[in-house]
Every structure is written in structure tokens, then in C-alpha cells.
Amino acid sequence: MKNRSTFFILMKICLKFFQIANNYIGEKRVPDRKERMHMRIGIPRGLFYYYYYPLWTKFFEMLGAEVVVSKRTNKQIVDSGVKCTVDDACLPVKVYHGHVVDLKDEVDFIFVPKIMSIYENEYICPKFCGLPEMVKSSIKDLPPLIDTTIDFYKSKKKLLKTVQEIGKHITNDKNKIKFAFEEALKQHKSYMGHMKSGILPTDMDGNKIVYYMDTYKHKQKILLLGHPYNIYDEYLSMNIIEKLRKNNLEVITQDTFDTTLINKKAEMMDKKMFWSFGRKVLGAALYAMEQEDIQGIIYLSSFGCGIDSVIADIIERRTRRNSNKPFILLTLDEHTGEAGIDTRIEAFVDMIKWRGKNENYISTYGKYVSTR
């Protein structure tokens, strides 16, 4: 009898030892909730992460939470996203699911807002509206989601109420939430300000500049258009920004232009563009067509994206009709091979350089050149 109970005590000690060792030996130690001082909020590195990461992070941190961002997109994240979503979903939505999977065992909450509209009288893609439901039905064993509805279609008056709703997951102190949001807004403005000066999210870690941009100034300029989650995700975009820069080209995006200029140009369309992304990208393209120092336009689109299929087509037609700038449309999905994209980028870059050297930017083959 005595031997049996000694055996069980020894077993328990061994088990505890293995549990502790397992926690420490992994990629990093994940303390359990009781051990943690702070609540952990997970932010998936996908979709609107590239616009709002500094704002969300500052907000949650000011409330005393610890923010955990999923890893940079990699093959494993893409594969796990593809595995748990329906075939018809676009690549960025699949990848977003992969980021949620990456976070699910590490955090107390995952921030997956239900975004309906971010500007008055404009909508964003319907997939953003159904995102929390999609995530909940596709991924098992999730921690609770912070899935507050963000809808500013009628007015931005609801902004503070929305912020309070998000913040109450961490604290009930309304003043603290208000103050945290004010500080987060400052962070957001500075981040967007960086983008206006040509420093792209790929050059920043949060709000900190990690890349010195000035070396690229005064060279030939290329306008890179596309959803932020395509163009700024280094894995999905196959490092297109870096590839163009290595060819001595300065890369600007729709986020580099002044919003007033973009809106003015977008208003020139016969019908109001009611998608926020469409308005922004179209306005930027129309403005760029008139700028002599911009030598070409690249549109990076997602296969299966309804908005891209309309906007890219309008931009391509307008570029051909109104300017002599080369235009190229690159479409991404989970099967896109890097070699194919590289070949098209190389051909495009060669054409830009050749035209700059030999033709004073005017094609010998007609009014416009498209590599589509």
C-alpha cells in the first residue's frame, strides 16, 4: 500500500516537472492567465491591421492590456487559413483566418471587429461585415472575440460609444477608455503622417521607422495600388516594394497622396464611388495620371475580389485613355508563383527604364502601353 502511494506521488511530481519544462522549452513561454499581470489581446496581422495597428495597439496598451500580434505572414499561416475557409473566400480573408489560428492559444481575447463602414456614406467590402461570424464558424476552440460593430455610415457621432464598447472588455472606467483613445488617435495620426511622407508600413515597426527612405528620393517613381493587406504584406506581395526599390525606383502608394487631392479626383467620376477603398485608389490613379514624375502604375489585386475586378478595370481603361503611362495588373491567389510575378515585374521595370532613356516616356507603339 505504502509503495503504491509513493509511486503516485512520484508520478505527480514528474508530471508537474514535464508541464513546467514544456512551457519553457517551446518557441516562447506562454504563462497561464493566473500568472499574467495583464490581459492579452490578440491582433491578427491581416486586413485593416496595416492601417490601424498603431491605433489599436496604443489603445489596448493604455488600458493596461498586453497586445500580441500574430507572426508575419508565412507559408504555414497561409496554409492554415486556406484549410479552414471556403474556397470562394478571397486570399486576404483566408490569410486573416490563418493569423487568427496563429493567435488563438496565446491570448485571452482576439480583436476581430465587425467593420461595416469607416467613412460617412461609404461602405467597405461585405466580407469585413461578416468577419467575426466567418471566423467563429470556421475555427474551433477560439478565445472570446472582441467583435464590436464599427459603423460610421450615417455619422461619426457613434465613434465614442463604439470605443467605449471595445474598451469595456478591459475596464469599466469610462474616462480611462476616453483618454486611451485620445492617445491612440495621436499615434494613428502620426502613423498616417509618415505614410504621406512616403514612409510605407513596410518601413515601420508599429510607429517606429526602421528603414531610411531618403536614398530612394529623386529617382523614377512608380505608383503601387492595391489593398493595404496585399501591398504591405511582404509575403503576399512577394516583396514587391523591395524588388522595385532594388531597381532604383521610388515606390509610392495611394496612401502617399493627400486625401483632399484624392477626393477631388474621385469626385470627377460620373457616379459617386461608395466603396471607401475604390474612392481612394481611383482618386490616386486619376491624380497620378497627370503627374509627369510618376512613370508607371502597378495594380496588385486579389483573385476573387469583386471590388478589384471593377476598380482595376476602370483604372486600366482610364490610364490608357488619359495618359501614356505603362500599367500592369498583377493578380494574387494562394497558387501564384513568385517566378511568374518576378518576370512580369522585370519586364515592366525594363520598359520604364528603356522608355526613360530612349523615348522621353513616349511609346513608339502607340498612345499607351499595357503589359496585361
| CB 223, min distance to ligand SF4, A | 19
Q: How far is the CB of 134 from ligand SF4 (least distance, A)?
A: 11
The runs of H, that is alpha helices, within 197-275 are 228-231, 240-246, 259-266
Question: With CB under 6 A as the contact rule, which of the stretches 151-159, 199-207, 301-309, 322-330 interacts with ligand SF4?
Answer: 301-309
Q: Applying CB under 6 A, does 302 fall inside the site for ligand SF4?
A: yes
In 26-158, alpha helices (H): 49-62, 75-84, 91-103, 126-129, 131-138
Q: How far is CA 102 from the centre of its chain?
A: 16
80 binds ligand SF4 (CB under 6 A): no
Residue placing its CB nearer to ligand SF4 in the complex, 130 or 356: 130
**Residue number, 169 or 227, with CB nearest to ligand SF4:** 227
Rule CB under 6 A: choose which of 127, 194, 280, 325 binds ligand SF4. Answer: 127
CA distances from 216 to 139, 182, 212, 249, 294 (A): 43, 34, 9, 7, 14
Stretch that binds ligand SF4, among 10-18, 152-160, 203-211, 305-313 (CB under 6 A): 305-313
Cβ-proximal residues to 117 (8 Å cutoff; 6+ apart), any chain: 123, 124, 150, 151, 152, 153, 276
Least separation in angstroms between residue 229's CB and ligand SF4 is: 7
Query: Strand 249-253 to strand 40-43: parallel, antiparallel, or no bridges (unpaired)?
Result: unpaired
The yes or no reply on residue 93 touching ligand SF4 (CB under 6 A) is: yes
How far, CA to CA in Å, does 192 sit from each of 186, 197, 217, 220, 362?
Answer: 10, 9, 19, 23, 34
Per-position x/- string for 181-220, each x denoting binding to ligand SF4 as judged by CB under 6 A, each - no binding: ----------------------------------------
Name residue 204's beta-bridge partners: 209
CB neighbourhood size of 340 (10 A)? 11
DSSP string for 291-307: -TTEEEEEEEEETT-HH
Rule CB under 6 A: choose which of 224, 286, 307, 311 binds ligand SF4. 307
- Per-residue contact flags (x/-) with ligand SF4 for residues 104 to 123, judged by CB under 6 A: --------------------
Residues numbered 225-264 forming contacts with ligand SF4, rule: CB under 6 A: 227
Q: Which residues bind ligand SF4 (CB under 6 A)?
A: 90, 92-93, 125, 127, 227, 302, 305-308
